[in-house]
Structure 1
Amino acid sequence: MPPRFLPGLDLARALHTDAVAPLMAAYLPHTPYSAALVGPGSEVLGLDTERSTDHDWGPRLHLFLSDARDRARVRELLADRLPDRVRGWPTRFVPATGDPGVRLLDHAGSPEGRHGVDVADLGAWCGTWLGFDPARGVTTADWLATPAQRLASVVGGAVFHDPVGDLARLRRRLTWYPDDVWRYVLACQWRRVAQEEPFVGRCAEAGDDLGARVVAAGVVRDLMRLALLLGRRYPPYAKWLGSAFARLPGSGGIAPLLSRAVRADTGALARACSLLAERQNDTGLAAPLDTRPRPFHSRPYPVLDADRFTRALLDRVRDPDLRGRPPVGTVDQFTDHSDVLTAPSVFRALGGSDLGQDPKP
């Protein structure tokens, strides 16, 4: 019978408290390190469930050490002395047969089992995960080139030991976008809404019920991401978008409207847009605008005319790296292709490019 389920963050904390910290204290007492669970995994966002335990889940931890010799000593210590179990869960993993790259918990205690403690240099780990090292500063291009899911996975999770504070300082730098980047990102999200909000009513009017619902679902997805951005939350990728939105303070007033909107209810869609427009006005990031729905030209379905909010936000942007830049946004605002958003070399190349920006004199 499997052990009682523990959320992955609690299990990671137990791995450090019950196993790793005592080993470090006993064998390497003067070795400075930080311990955390960050990076990939639903547990980093606090969204894992018992279903998550079937693959790539278990007692995991990151240990960050700046000295290469210390890292080697810690790896040797963990390989030799890490306990086989913590809170009843195996501490080692084995590759899944026929499923490359996937790991399963080693319940059988096979010789091939390897523990889930990643020992790394913090800057090097950031380079691999984010494509840059925030300790050296975060440029406008860095913000644009980094998928929100990756940022969420660094500022999320939990830190269990950080006496020097290097990890805490790095996480603070990534807590949220600078105001001008925030303005730009919001402007680009409103632009996405503006591009398709009139199509829901037009498809329905043409008798295309399925098409209307497909378009409506896309706009609703963009509104959910917009709500998270307005609430200073990095939107996660599709699997967890609804869960993250449901946890957002104030989402309860919008969720019923969005549930109706995906059924091509143009009135509910327009009302949801208006409520988010009110939140936009409340941020003070741009001049306040009228949030009431209005007809789309002479057609009998309401829209917000969301592009007004795009223009108002861009008018307040002063960052020279953003002024004149096309309103396409961060890399995950103009593509949701997983092979792009999971490959730092690719998302850095796309997200940090000029994308047709007017050349500076």
Structure 2
Amino acid sequence: MFDLNEFLLELDHMYATNPKGVEAYLKSGLEEAGKCLDGPAMLTILNELMGYYRVMSKPTECEWCIEKAVRIAEKLGIQGTTDYATMLLNIGTAQRVMGQMDKAESNYEEAYAIFKEKLHEPDYRMATLYNNRSILYANTGRLKEAKADLQMAMGLIQRLEQSDVEIAITHANIGNLCFALQELDEGLQHMQQAAEIFECQEGKKDSHYASALSGLGEGYFRKGELDKSIKTYEKALEEILANYGENDYYRVTVRNLELVRDTKKRAEAVRNQKLKGMDIARRYYEEYGKPMLEEKFPEYVDRVAAGLVGEGSECLGYDDVTSADHDFGPGFCLWLTREDYEAVGQEMQRAYTELPGEYMGFPARNVTAQGGDRVGVLCMDEFFRRYTGYEQAPDRETRNGLARWMSIPIPALRTVTNGEIFTDPLGEFTRRRETFAAYPKGVRLRKLAMSLGVMAQAGQYNYGRMRKRGDQAAAWLCVSEFVNAAIETGYHLNQMYQPFYKWKMRGMDAFHVLTNLKEKLTQLMQMSGADSENDGQSSVQSQIEDICVGVVKELNRQGLTETKEAFLEIQKQEIIRRLQSDAR
């Protein structure tokens, strides 16, 4: 006869003292129970083995356990029992980890129905189901359902005796969900509670302790407490290694730790050197880039433009410590004509790649998938085409040329004209860049008229109408449209291209006219956020009108319009009439 209780006691001891021998022990027990024709014992061991393979990231072995467990359960005829539901729960969890979400959810639902019918008192198994199903919901984007399941799980577990470990696990799961919901403080608090509970355990910690530590490390990282994050991740790695060895979870945690260390190193470099990204790029080019060209490509030295232009906060001069976490570090651009690029572009790129990664204490550039090709050897034609759609600026006289200008996104024009050119002996890159530097007058005025029209329609007209209808959400959208249009209007009146949306407000600090527009728009957004009563509506509408009056004064001052009418649709129409008159 197979003694299952004795086997499980020894299994617990082995997890505590010799985790690397667990697999062989489970397989041996399964074989022995089979010889004894003990189906229930085989099913119990298969559940344990299935969990082991799940954690060890062995999907093929996990599938084998699932198939064998289902066959044994059918032979035993235990469908509809709590033992059968427990097996379904384990199978569903294994399938969830393997990415088989539909199968996992189906097994969870069947297990839930059985537990709901059979279990009438608080039970660990139902709590475990809630916990695991909540992870599935979270992984499939159903965060509200996930949170509801976690709350149900916690309610059950807190009513059970000797449930500290399960409470800790649930805290960790809630913490992860809070991170997904951007509820950072609450998530960090749950992770701290989970870790504290595990740390109070005597002897070897529960295997879930590592997960709680990893979650806590993530929380500290998100809060910017990098030293705490590093220490916590290091502790998590020790736990994972001790329990499971170097599995997928270990490797993911290593990558997370490396990210935190890299982020810390970059932030410290920025603080210590007190240099902007453009300064780093220029010095890096002078110390390594220029000598590389002179030594390896002497015949092309007088044909290569070098600098830093394009995407990235450093090209706008807006970079700071936060910028250092991605696509930041030593690097510069080398622009070649198409002919030169086809001749030596690849060879020059290889030479560029061989330049030292670290420079002046700054780690090598941390390139993301979204930030590739920002630096290195670039073809001039492709550089301008990539952002504007054109290798050369469209002509400024013909109707077709002006239509092409109208089609170019404004931030794209800012992208190709920002930054700095360190050297351009051929002059071709500088020439092209200068042709993109400013709109033809007619295009600027037409775009200005369009933004004035949106300001009038969204802010001066529709905001009040939406408030009268009691549609607060639509009123907020009106304010949003008005603010965006007002920002664009401000840039046009300053004859500047507006940058990528997240830098629009920052860029307004460089305005030489409408210098108070940023402050007024900021106040408007704060008002609209608190706007819920009629007094709020009145103050928002008043602020909108005040902004519009300031725009009208600037239009008049620049001689773009003569009318003093504050309704900006009238201003728009006057500009359009002037454009039409000039076209005759």
TM-score with structure 1 length normalisation?
Answer: 0.73
State the shift of 1:185 in Å: 0.7
Maintained 8 Å contact 1:84/1:91: yes
Distance change in 2, residues 1:202/1:76 (3 Å):
closer
Work out which of the residue numbers 269, 294, 302 in structure 2 matches 1:4.
269
Say if 2:406 is the partner of 1:157. Answer: no
Q: What SS class does the counterpart of residue 299 from structure 2 fall into?
A: coil
Question: 1:72: which partner in 2?
Answer: 346
| Aligned equivalent of 1:308 | 570
Q: CA deviation at 1:92?
A: 4.6
**Rg larger in structure:** 2
Of 272-281 and 199-208, more deviation after overlay is shown by: 199-208
- Secondary structure, in 3 states, of the residue corresponding to 2:377? strand
Tell me which of 276, 290, 293 is aligned to 1:21.
Answer: 290
Q: Tell me if the contact between 2:328 and 2:366 (Cα under 8 Å) persists in the aligned partners.
A: no
C-alpha change, 1:208 and 1:151, in structure 2 (3 Å) is same
- Counterpart selection for 2:357 from 84, 99, 124: 84
* Contact in 2 for aligned 1:18/1:86 (Cα 8 Å): no
Counterpart position of 2:522: 259
Which ranges of structure 1 fall in alignment gaps of 5 or more residues?
104-114, 292-303, 324-361
Aligned amino acid, residue 85 of structure 1: E
Aligned partner of residue 579 in structure 2, secondary structure? coil
Q: Hey, what's the Cα distance between the residues in 2 that align with 1:51 and 1:210?
A: 32
Could you tell me whether the CA contact under 8 Å between 1:33 and 1:63 is conserved in 2?
A: yes
**1:114-153 equivalence runs, <5 A:** 117-134=375-392, 137=395, 139-153=401-415
The aligned residue for residue 299 of structure 1 is: none
Q: Rate the CA distance shift 1:215–1:117 in 2: closer, same or farther, 3 A.
A: closer
Residue among 50, 53, 61 paired with 2:324: 53
The residue aligned with 2:510 is 247
SS at match of 1:187: helix
Check whether the contact 2:327–2:365 (CA below 8 A) recurs between aligned residues: no
How far 1:71 moved relative to its partner?
2.0
What's the Cα RMSD here?
Answer: 2.6
Distance in 2 (alpha carbons) for counterparts of 1:140 and 1:244: 26
**Could you tell me how far apart the structure 1 residues matched to 2:550 and 2:541 are?**
14
* Whole-angstrom distance in 2 between the partners of 1:135 and 1:207: 47
Match of 1:63 in 2: 334
Q: Structure 1 residues 240 and 116, CA, compared in 2 at 3 Å: closer, same or farther?
A: closer
For 1:159-174, list aligned pairs within 5 A. Answer: 159-174=421-436
2:13 maps to what in 1?
none
Question: 2:479 & 2:366 partners in 1: Cα distance?
Answer: 43
d(CA) in 2 for partners of 1:8, 1:276: 35
- Structure 2's unaligned 5+ residue stretches are 1-264, 528-536
Aligned to 1:335: none
1:37-65: CA deviations, max 9, x gaps?
Answer: 11211221222221111112222322112
Q: Per the alignment, do residues 211 and 168 of structure 1 end up closer, same or farther by CA in structure 2, a change over 3 Å counting?
A: same
- The 5 Å alignment of 1:30-49 reads 30-31=299-300, 32-49=303-320
Counterpart of 1:175 in 2: which secondary structure?
Answer: coil
Superimposed CA distance per residue, residues 140-192 of structure 1 (whole angstroms, 9 cap, x where no aligned partner): 12211111111001111111111121122112111111111111111111111
User: Number of residue pairs matched?
Assistant: 293
**What letter matches 1:160 in structure 2?**
F
8 A contact 2:308–2:375 mirrored in 1: no
Residue in 1 aligned with 2:483?
Answer: 220
CA contact (8 A) 1:123 1:135 kept: no
Matched, 1:177 2:439: yes
1:167-225: CA deviation from partner (whole Å, max 9, x where unpaired): 22112111111111111111111111121222233344555556544422321221122
Q: Name whichever structure is richer in helix by fraction.
A: 2
TM-score (norm 2): 0.46
Give the Cα–Cα distance (whole angstroms) in 2 for the partners of residues 259 and 129 of structure 1: 30
Q: Give the secondary-structure state (helix, strand or coil) at the position aligned to 1:64.
A: strand
Deviation at 1:319, TM superposition (A): 9.8
